[in-house]
Chains A and B, each alone.
Chain A
Amino acid sequence: MNLEFEIAGGDFTKAGYASSQVKKMLKQLGVEAHCIKNIVIALYEAEVNVVAHAYEGQILVHIESDKITTKIIDKGPGIPDIEQAMQEGYSTASKKVREMGFGAGMGLPNIKKNTDKLQIQSKVDEGTTVEMVNYF
Chain B
Amino acid sequence: MAPARTYHALTIDEDKCIGCTHCMKACPTEAIRVINGLAEIWSARCVDCGHCMRACPEKAIYVEQDDLQNAKAFKYRVVLFPAVMIGQFPEKYTEDQIYAALLKIGFTHVFEVEQPIGVLKSSIRQYCRTTENIKPHISTFCPAIVRLIQIKYPSLIDNMIQRKAPHDLGAHFAINELKKQGANEDEIGLFYVTPCNAKITSVKSPVGEKESIVDGIINMNTLYNRVMQAIDDKEVPDTSSQRQNLTRDGILWSLTRGESVHFGERSMAIDGIHNVIRFLERLENEEVPDIDFLELRACDQSCAGGIMMTGNRFLTVERLESRAKRYPPAWKLQQSDPVKNSKEIKQKLVADKIVPRPAFSLDKDRVRALEKMNKAQRIICFLPGIDCGACGAPNCQALAEDMVNGRAKMSDCIFLQQMWEDEGRISTDKAFRNVEKKWGEKRFQADCNKRGKRNEGF
Point out residues on A near B: beta carbons under 8 Å. Answer: 1, 16, 19-20, 23-25, 27-31, 33-34, 36-37, 40-41, 44, 63-66, 101, 136
Q: Are A1 and B370 in contact (CB under 8 A)?
A: yes
Contact of A16 among B155, B287, B356 (CB under 8 A): B287
Q: Name the residue on B nearest A30 (C-beta).
A: B361
Q: Which listed residue (B285, B287, B363, B370) contacts A64, Cβ 8 A? A: B370
A33 / chain B contacts, CB cutoff of 8 Å: 154-155, 157, 356, 358
**19 cross-chain CB contacts under 8 A:** A1-B374, A16-B287, A19-B285, A20-B281, A23-B281, A23-B284, A25-B373, A27-B152, A27-B358, A28-B369, A28-B401, A29-B361, A29-B369, A34-B155, A40-B284, A44-B287, A63-B370, A63-B373, A136-B366
Q: What DSSP secondary structure best describes chain B's contact surface?
A: helix
User: Given that A65-B370, A136-B366 are contacting pairs, would A1 and B377 also be in contact in the complex, using a CB cutoff of 8 Å?
Assistant: yes
Main DSSP-derived SS at the A contact region? helix
Chain B, Cβ-Cβ closest to A114: B286
A28 to B157, CA, bound (A): 18
For B367, give the chain A residue with the smallest CB separation: A65
Residue on B nearest A25 in the bound complex, by CB: B373
B280-336 CB contacts (< 8 Å) to partner A: 281-282, 284-287, 289
Provide the bound-state CA to CA distance between A28 and B364, in Å: 10
**B360 sits at the interface (CB 8 A):** yes
> Would you list the 4 A-B pairs with minimal beta carbon distance, nearest first?
A30-B361, A33-B155, A33-B154, A65-B367
Point out the residues of chain A lying under 8 angstroms from B369, CB to CB.
28-30
- A13 vs chain B, min Cβ distance (A): 13
How many A-B contacts at CB < 8 Å in the complex? Answer: 65
Write out the residue numbers on chain B whose beta carbons fall within 8 Å of the beta carbon of A27. 152, 358, 360-361
In the complex, the chain B residue whose C-beta lies closest to that of A66 is B366
Task: Fill in one digit per residue for B367-400: 1 if any A CB lies within 8 Å of its CB, else 0.
Answer: 1011001100100000000000000000000000
Residues in chain A near residue B289, CB distance under 8 A? 101
Question: Which chain A residues border B373 with CB–CB below 8 Å?
Answer: 1, 25, 28-29, 63
Q: Which of A29, A40, A44 contacts B362 (CB 8 A)?
A: A29
Q: Is the CB of A28 within 8 A of B360?
A: yes
List of B residues within 8 angstroms of A20 by Cβ: 281, 285
Contact A30 B286, beta carbon cutoff 8 Å: no
Known: A27-B360, A29-B361. A36 touches B370 (CB 8 A): no
The CA-CA distance from A20 to B277 in the complex, in Å, is: 12
